[in-house]
Amino acid sequence: MRETELIRAIDTLARTTMHSPQVLTGIGDDCAVVRPRPGEDLVFTTDLTIEDRHFTRATHTAADVGYKGLARSLSDLAAVGAEPLFCLVSLAIPAGSAQWVKAFYRGLTSLAKQFDMALAGGDLARADKVTVDVMCCGRVHRNKALLRSGARPGDSLYVTGELGGSALGFEQKRGKTWARHKRPVPRVAAGRELVGLASACIDISDGLSLDLHRLCEMSGVGAAVTSIPVWPGASIEQALHGGEDYELLFTAPHRRIVPSRIASVPVTRIGEVTAHTGTITYGGNSLEPSGFDHFR
Ligand SMILES: [Mg+2]
């Protein structure tokens, strides 16, 4: 298959995602043309997914990789409470991967359609290993984006869902937990409902311990975690440090009423924010940030 044919196939898939009246033109032009509405802020995020680093071709199908590449970026949109608008996808692949590329885009666009998000452009190049970069843009009401920096001492600390399922799935490589690892569901609807409710928010991509440290650092606070919801069968270590759960960790003022389910996802109070800057404890003991750090 020639590159022009491949691009035509991608273009056909991309056109099936073009629902938003704000995305005026997508693939086929030199740039995507997107029109912001008055009173909104646009938010942007980008995530790399690299063969033998984030996935292997032996364990992940092309459609899995396309799905997860977008899911990782969508989880960042969820963390700021944004509504997804469009994505740009750059893909580098070894020669002779045309079928793989088409399946990759099918996996990616299947998820994009679930969130009414357009695949509005991207780039294709050759490389020895599959390298994916998914840039996502979303929108929020002006000045309403949820940030990591809004937590205050006395706030309550919450998580959506259960933690440790992704790490357990990666270990077992079968069943429901393996799907949890390969096809995480980004908490976009929950994130949007947290706008006006949460004081700070972050998605748990690298493990609760590490992402909680990041939130506390940006807010200049500490945290005392008392108990956490653990995925059935997962260890407490997997729940604290495992990563890739793509749940939301958020804070809310003590007096604010936080429902036990948000957008059909269970929400659990796991502790509280303290004034002890940088000190994070679990059950009274120091909780070190031992989640996934790419540069350690
Ligand atoms: Mg994130």
| Ligand 1 centroid – CA 13 distance (Å) | 27
Ligand 1 mean position, distance from CA 187 (Å): 12
What single-letter amino acid sits at 77?
L
Cα–Cα distance measured from residue 46 to residue 77, given in angstroms and rounded to the nearest whole number: 10
In sequence order, which residues have a C-beta less than 8 Å from that of residue 121 and are 6 or more positions away? 26, 27, 29, 31, 32, 88, 89
Which stretch of DSSP H or E encloses residue 289? Answer: none
Cα 28 to ligand 1 centroid, rounded to whole Å? 30
Mark residue 128 as left, alpha or beta (left: phi above 0; alpha: psi -120 to 50; beta: remaining): alpha
Cβ–Cβ < 8 Å for 136, 203: no
Q: How far is the CA of 74 from the centre of ligand 1 (A)?
A: 9
The CA distance from 215 to 200, in Å, is 8
Amino acid at 30: D
- Tell me, what DSSP letter sits at residue 88? E
Interatomic CA distance for residues 162 and 165, integer angstroms: 7
pLDDT, tens only, 220-234:
999 999 999 999 999
Token digits of residue 33: 């043309």
Tell me whether strands 280-282 and 222-225 are parallel, antiparallel or unpaired. parallel
Q: Which of 89, 84, 87 is nearest to 115 (CA)?
A: 84
Task: Give 105 Cα–ligand 1 centroid separation in angstroms.
Answer: 23
CA 76 to ligand 1 center in whole angstroms: 5
pLDDT, tens digit only, all 296 positions of the chain: 677 888 888 989 999 898 888 999 888 888 999 999 999 999 999 999 999 999 999 999 999 999 999 999 999 999 999 999 999 999 999 988 889 999 999 999 999 999 999 999 999 999 999 999 999 999 999 999 999 999 999 999 999 999 999 999 999 998 889 999 999 999 999 999 999 999 999 999 999 999 999 999 999 999 999 999 999 999 999 999 999 999 999 999 999 999 999 999 999 999 999 999 999 999 999 999 986 665 55
In this prediction the pTM is: 0.95
How far apart CA 106 and CA 296 sit, in angstroms, is 34
In the reported structure, the alpha carbon of residue 165 is separated from the centroid of ligand 1 by a whole-number distance in angstroms of 18
The number of helices, as runs of H, and strands, as runs of E, in the chain is 8, 14
Which residue do the tokens 């790490």 mark? 167
SS3 state of residue 216: helix
Residue 264 alpha carbon to ligand 1 centre in Å: 21
Chain-centre distance of CA 227, in angstroms?
Answer: 23
Could you tell me the distance, in angstroms and rounded to a whole number, from the CA of residue 102 to the centre of ligand 1?
A: 27
Compute the distance between CA of residue 133 and CA of residue 49 in angstroms, rounded to an integer.
6
